[in-house]
Structure formats: C-alpha cells, structure tokens
A and B are shown apart, each in its own frame.
Chain A
Amino acid sequence: DQQVKQNSPSLSVQEGRISILNCDYTNSMFDYFLWYKKYPAEGPTFLISISSIKDKNEDGRFTVFLNKSAKHLSLHIVPSQPGDSAVYFCAASETGTYKYIFGTGTRLKVLA
C-alpha cells in the first residue's frame, strides 16, 4: 500500500511557464514533507521541505504548498528552466522518526 503517491509519472512544460508537481499521502501522522530532485546517473538531492505547521514554504523559484485536510502537497516551479528537467520525488515522515516514505517520482521535462 503506497502511503505517498505521485500519480503523474511525467510532465512537460514550456520554458518560462509554471510547473506544478503533485503528491498525495494517506498517513495522517506524517508531519514533515520534502521534495528531492534527481538527475540521470546521480543520487537524489534535497530541494525544499515543509513542516505541517505551515501551509507554504518558498525558496527562490520553488514553492511547496501543503493542504493537510486534503493530505496533498504540491511543488511549484516558476519560471521553469530547462535545467529543471529531472525526476522529482516527494517524501513524508513523522517528526522524530527516521523513516522517510518516498513516492514513485514525476519526470519533469522543460521544453526550450
């Protein structure tokens, strides 16, 4: 049973436009969420995180939104750049525990 779901395996966006990547979770105990970015032949790298006490966290072009009632989070990239083309994983955990549950990833392609 997948506790963290990324239902869109892939997404294509034109350069300069907004990219929106979505993630749903089922475990109401999760209170810390992260997004990782992965380029081919490299390991995932941390991008941005959010605690459940917030509903938005922003870092430059990247913003993560959290809707606790819907158990849904999204990553917005504005404006999208070709270098953003990668696989994006969302992950969830309970604060104070060690286990991060990852989604299956969404492959973003930003078209020049």
Chain B
Amino acid sequence: DAGVIQSPRHEVTEMGQEVTLRCKPISGHNSLFWYRQTMMRGLELLIYFNNNVPIDDSGMPEDRFSAKMPNASFSTLKIQPSEPRDSAVYFCASSPSGESPYEQYFGPGTRLTVT
C-alpha cells in the first residue's frame, strides 16, 4: 500500500491567497484526520471525518479554514485567505476505525509558508 498521500509537499504563498491542501487516505480506512504541527503546540487536531462525514471540527482555528471529504479516497483542507500565522506543517492521517485503540497512519505532511 502507498500509505497516506499528501500534496503538495511544500507550499509557499503570499498573505491573502487561497491555499488548498490535498490528502488521499489509505484504501479501506474509514476515518480521516487533519492535524497542524507547530513548535509551540505540537500536533493539534483540526478536524475529524468518519465515513466522509465531518464529526468534529472544533479544532479548526477560524472560519478561514474549511475541509471537505467528497468521497472515501480524497479530502481537502482549504485556507482562504491565508495569513503568516498559518505557516506550519499540516498532516493528514487515516485509521481503519475512528475509535481508539487503533493507530493512526500519517502522511508525509505539507509544509506551508505564508509570506
């Protein structure tokens, strides 16, 4: 299996621009998670989907952030408009089940820089 696939791996954009991050989860996994990693806060859960339905988006920082999962093999995280403080590494992870104790499998991440 190819694992969780994320694109792009790096994104540099100017403040105010729209940014779209993409994720393809592992086939057969019904749970998908978007995380943001920063030095100060570590890995923070942004949003969780189960069977393509958003279950918990309480971690989404502001209305500028939105996420979709139109089908079981694709999800997007969009930031519009982007701001310098959004600069971070964004990870997508999938799991065969949404319930612990299943481990989550992470993609390689997208490093976002907003200037």
The interface of chain A, by Cβ under 8 A from chain B, is 6, 32, 34, 36, 41-46, 49, 51, 89, 91, 93-100, 102-105
Q: Determine whether the beta carbon of A99 is less than 8 Å from that of B56.
A: yes
Q: What are 20 inter-chain pairs, A to B, with CB distance below 8 A?
A: A6-B42, A32-B100, A32-B101, A34-B103, A41-B9, A41-B109, A43-B4, A43-B106, A45-B106, A46-B104, A89-B42, A93-B101, A95-B100, A97-B100, A98-B98, A98-B99, A99-B48, A100-B100, A102-B35, A104-B40
Q: Which of B1-52 contact A (CB under 8 A)?
A: 4, 9, 31, 33, 35, 39-45, 48, 50
Q: Determine whether the beta carbon of B108 is less than 8 Å from that of A96.
A: no
User: B42 — nearest CB in chain A belongs to which residue?
Assistant: A104
B55: which A residues are within 8 A, CB to CB? 98
Cα–Cα, bound, A36→B33 (Å):
16
CB distance from A108 to the nearest CB of B (A): 15
Cα–Cα, bound, A18→B101 (Å):
28
A34: which B residues are within 8 A, CB to CB? 103
Q: Which of B85-115 contact A (CB under 8 A)?
A: 91, 93, 98-101, 103-109
Contact of A102 among B9, B42, B103 (CB under 8 A): B42
Add 6 more A-B contacts to A91-B43, A98-B55, A102-B44 (CB < 8 A).
A41-B9, A43-B108, A43-B109, A44-B106, A49-B103, A103-B42
Would A41 and B108 be within 8 Å (CB), given that A98-B31, A98-B50, A103-B42 are in contact? yes
CB distance from A105 to the nearest CB of B (A): 6
Cα–Cα, bound, A102→B44 (Å):
7
Cα–Cα, bound, A102→B42 (Å):
7
Cα–Cα, bound, A103→B41 (Å):
8
CB distance from B22 to the nearest CB of A (A): 15
Cα–Cα, bound, A81→B9 (Å):
29
Q: Determine whether the beta carbon of A43 is less than 8 Å from that of B99.
A: no
Task: For the complex of A and B, list the 4 residue pairs with the smallest distance between their C-beta atoms, beginning with the closest.
Answer: A43-B106, A104-B42, A102-B43, A93-B100
Q: Determine whether the beta carbon of B41 is less than 8 Å from that of A104.
A: yes
Q: Determine whether the beta carbon of B99 is less than 8 Å from that of A100.
A: no
Q: Determine whether the beta carbon of B104 is less than 8 Å from that of A100.
A: yes
